[in-house]
Amino acid sequence: MCVKGRKGNEGRDMAIYLSRKYAINTCDEIGEHFGGIRPSAVSLGSRRVKDRLKTDKAFKKLVRQLESDVRDFNN
């Protein structure tokens, strides 16, 4: 579980992004899993990742590899 109130936590943001993309949970449920953060913080964390994917090629490669690992794990 992540620590509440950790703004700009890249790992948490990536995990939130992947949770929103691949899980059927609501922002409320995802926020509870990540230490009781608010749904708006879940949305913001996911948005930070989406925005960075547009400009940072190395980051995009890392996130795509994590997505591949998630898909492989689910199969």
3-state secondary structure the chain: CCCCCCCCCHHHHHHHHHHHHHCCCCHHHHHHHCCCCCHHHHHHHHHHHHHHHCCCHHHHHHHHHHHHHHHHHHC
pLDDT given at position 4: 52
Q: Convert the pLDDT of each residue in 52-74 to its tens digit.
A: 999 999 999 999 998 898 777 76
pLDDT given at position 73: 75
Q: Convert the pLDDT of each residue in 7-23 to its tens digit.
A: 668 899 999 999 998 88
pLDDT tier, 1 (very low <50, low <70, confident <90, very high otherwise) = very low
Query: Per-residue pLDDT for 49 more than 70?
Result: yes
